[in-house]
Amino acid sequence: MSVNVAVSRAEICAVACAEAWREEGEILASPFGTIPAIGARLARATFSPDLLLSDGEALLVGGTWAVGEPAPGPVEGWAPFRNVFDLAWAGYRHIMMVPSQIDRYGNANLSAIGDFARPSRALLGMRGAPGNTVCHPVSYWVPRHLPRVFVPAVDVVCGVGYDRGVASVDLRRVVTNLAVLDFGGPGHAMRLVSAHPGVNVDEVVSATGFDLVIDDVGETRLPSADELRLIRDVIDPHRLRDREVPDG
């Protein structure tokens, strides 16, 4: 099965990210990465009109604007950093983070590779991952689906997974350049939900460093004509999406 030549892999990924925020209501969407940013803006412009989006600083803004450009407004509210904590602790936020490692139960690492006392590579640090994963919905975006990202055990637990005994963990989906996954397997193990057009299940399995739950695997949906227009003409006219997920 080949990808429709009119639709790029990056556009398929953007729509898959948008689906993470489908009908979420009035909550703060916090996307990290170009493709998730496109997805959040696409979701609000189509099926999740009540989403709150930040200009990246302290304002909540309406409308739909291009990634990489200032938000023109209108301004809907003021959300300085301290207010983001209030929204997070109350559960009124759905973040999409970018893990350096993730395991089959959703434990995520974005702090360091190797022994934490003497890591081979220092990364971002814990950041807000522990609080995010115990307080509100979390999804993940992985631009390169590789065994070194999908690992049997993460080197450092930053984002909390389902095997840590925290009842409030709410991990929604993992979108990659190959597939969409969730935690609907036995004991909340990671499950393959859909492979992107042009990708087969064996490719996803070979790019994953642990056993996925594989049941009824679908095909990730293509963007509609209106979604393509929004992505190409309004949200990402400069094609920044292709830098994050190139075709081929």
List pLDDT tens digits, range 44-62. 999 999 999 999 889 999 9
Structurally, the chain folds into a number of domains equal to 1
pLDDT digits (tens, 9 = 90+) for 162-200: 999 999 999 999 999 999 999 999 999 999 999 999 999
In a domain? residue 69: yes
In a domain? residue 127: yes
Are β-strands 191-195 and 213-219 bridged in parallel, bridged antiparallel, or unpaired?
A: parallel
Q: What is the CATH number of the domain that holds 228?
A: 3.40.1080.10
Cα torsion at 141, 130, 107, 101 (round to 10°)?
Answer: 50
In a domain? residue 1: no
Quote the domain boundaries for residue 159.
9-244
Are β-strands 108-109 and 93-97 bridged in parallel, bridged antiparallel, or unpaired?
A: unpaired
Confidence of residue 1 (pLDDT cuts 50, 70, 90): very low
Confidence of residue 90 (pLDDT cuts 50, 70, 90): very high
Residue with tokens 């009824």: 216
List, in sequence order, every residue forming a beta bridge with 142; answer none if it has no partner: 176
CA-nearest of 91, 77, 65 to 230 is: 65
In a domain? residue 229: yes
Cα torsion at 74, 76, 80, 83 (round to 10°)?
Answer: -160
pLDDT digits (tens, 9 = 90+) for 23-38: 899 999 999 999 999 9
In a domain? residue 110: yes
CB of 168 within 8 A of CB of 115?
no
In a domain? residue 4: no
Percent of the chain, pLDDT > 90? 86
Instruction: Determine the average pLDDT of the residues in 130-155.
Output: 97
In a domain? residue 25: yes
